[in-house]
Structure 1
Amino acid sequence: MPAPSFYYGCAQWQHPSWCWPNQQLAPLAAYSQYFNAVEGNTSFYAAPSREKCQQWAWQTPPDFRLWLKLPASCTHQAVFPRAESAQVKDFFDAIEVLEQRVRLIFIQVPARLSVDQWPELKKFIASLPAQYLYALEVRHLDFFAKDAHEQAFNAYLIEHNISRVMLDSRALFNTQADVTLTSVEQASLNKARGKKPRVPLHVLATNQYPIIRFIGHHQSALNQVYLNQWLHQCVQWRQQGKEITFFMHTPDNALAPYQLQKFYQALRQQCPELPELTPLPPALADAQKDLFAT
């Protein structure tokens, strides 16, 4: 039986501080030489056109994974749209050309959505095309209460093969290392804390496709405390045959590529069946190391 795949990537495929060696390549094409997945946050703000999706397909290998978010027009309105509505239909029509690059659709709902709206959300999810896998990220504390409501929520996800996204923002909100930061780093950290949710971490794989979104601090030693826990968990899940997706964020995402490759290398030491990664290009790696050391 072949070893399960391990997908790893960042929250974006381009950043002002990421200088890929081949400037002729589109940013996504360059990024896909070093990572095999990316969070497609661009689709959250506006559904991509079919032409744009075709470009993404041309720029990436078939085994690359675009983890596209359902547009906010579907998930962040007062009422969930019908499956035949334009905003839903146009999104799924456009992404068809990506073929296997999109196996899983990310449904992120706002923090105001509580267990009271869960029945409507269930109906909406059930109406979506069945050929895709789905991952759901909830942010209201109702879903983290470890009570009958959360148990019913998790049971539904398990029954319907939906991944519960695990968002780990513990490092981001840990203030112990803030004294080591420059004023610029502190400013970007404060900005990230204002935007990212602070929710409890419940480590639970509701299907064979656990998904982790790790939101780190600028201080690498602090991040490592939590990343070591994920290393242990990822090894365990791989032994169970699970296909893991791990996304790395940092406050401004400048250091995310370097931190992610370090994490992957540490995981590969314990799981040598994982393929070797392509090292970051020297110019980018050196710049990341310089930032990492500050």
Structure 2
Amino acid sequence: MTLTRLGCAGWSISREAAPAFDGAGSHLERYAAVLNAVEINSSFYRPHKPQTYARWAASVPDDFRFSVKLPRSITHERRLQDASALIGQFAAEAGALGNKLGCVLVQLPPSLRLDTVAAERVFPQLHEHFGCMLACEARHASWFSDEATALLHAHHITRVIADPPAGQPGPYIATTDQSYVRLHGSPRIYYSTYDEAYLQSVAAWLAHRDGWCIFDNTAAGAAILNALLLQQLQAAAPAPDRQNWQA
């Protein structure tokens, strides 16, 4: 049996989705009673205190997991260069999630070409600080080369599969035995909803893999509704012969 960590980039609950989250408590507590994962994107823009992360961890069930986005100060400002102090600071903050930290997401800027020297330095530092899954959403074509695939595989970094695809559309080449899917909304990124036929194909693809599926089409509230529909489709046991979904 496979396990999907299913959730959204944030735990806001729209008015339309509210009936599915009718429990008591904060938005996070209600969200975590229905879905089993969430991606914290706000950490990309600003730091959070360890006490904040600890409070979030205490608000969710034992089997719930957080994915936390690496700060842009590391990926976009330093561009993976001379980032050891910043990685240590981030680990001291997000590490307060404890065993509920399930993944650290490294999203690279579209202009950042494959830099093997920087990557060979940063990826071990991340593993040193975090004992969880590491996922990389690279968006420059050079990160989809054979050299990049070998690099990610060697450092046990999961290559993100994204929709819309960035960097290099085409066959998805896995770099670990887990998957990390980020669905940003298409055709209008961050806004568009996904129809049932598309989500059925995603459900069938996920049925054969362990990993994460995060909806980032949050701008108009589509993410939470899409996550709920995908959850229902997964529960309905998608047909095993539909394995060819690609973002």
- TM-score category by the smaller chain? 0.7 to 0.9
Q: Is structure 2 residue 118 aligned with structure 1 residue 123?
A: no
After TM superposition, the structure 1 = structure 2 runs for residues 226-245 of structure 1, keeping only pairs within 5 Å, are: 226-237=198-209, 243-245=210-212
Paired amino acid for 2:92: D
Paired amino acid for 2:225: Y
Tell me how far 1:199 sits from its aligned partner: 5.3
The answer as to whether partners of 2:141 and 2:167 remain within 8 angstroms in 1 is no
Task: Tell me the residue number matched to 2:233.
Answer: 266
Number of residue equivalences: 230
Q: Is structure 2 residue 91 aligned with structure 1 residue 92?
A: yes
Consecutive unaligned residues of structure 2, counting only runs of 5 or more, are 240-247
Aligned mates of 1:234, 1:21 — CA distance in 2: 27
Q: What is the aligned-residue identity percentage? A: 23
Aligned mates of 1:232, 1:120 — CA distance in 2: 37
The answer as to whether partners of 2:203 and 2:238 remain within 8 angstroms in 1 is no
Change (3 A) 1:79 1:154: closer
Provide the secondary structure at the position in 1 that maps to 2:208: helix
The answer as to whether partners of 1:167 and 1:212 remain within 8 angstroms in 2 is yes
Q: Is structure 2 residue 29 aligned with structure 1 residue 29?
A: yes
Paired amino acid for 1:262: L
Task: Tell me the residue number matched to 1:166.
Answer: 161
Change (3 A) 1:226 1:91: same
The answer as to whether partners of 2:10 and 2:38 remain within 8 angstroms in 1 is yes
The answer as to whether partners of 1:169 and 1:198 remain within 8 angstroms in 2 is no
Aligned mates of 1:267, 1:105 — CA distance in 2: 25
Consecutive unaligned residues of structure 1, counting only runs of 5 or more, are 145-149, 171-196, 238-242, 273-294
Change (3 A) 1:49 1:251: closer
When structure 1 is superposed on structure 2, of 68-77 and 90-99 the one drifting more is 90-99
CA RMSD across the alignment? 2.6
Who wins on radius of gyration, i.e. which is larger? 1
Higher percent of residues as strand: 2
Provide the secondary structure at the position in 2 that maps to 1:76: helix
The answer as to whether partners of 1:82 and 1:88 remain within 8 angstroms in 2 is no
Tell me how far 1:59 sits from its aligned partner: 0.8
Aligned mates of 1:99, 1:202 — CA distance in 2: 35
Aligned mates of 1:63, 1:125 — CA distance in 2: 26
Aligned mates of 1:251, 1:56 — CA distance in 2: 20
The answer as to whether partners of 1:83 and 1:127 remain within 8 angstroms in 2 is no
Give CA deviations for 1:51-72 in whole Å, capped at 9, x if unaligned. Answer: 1111111111121111001111
Change (3 A) 1:205 1:73: same
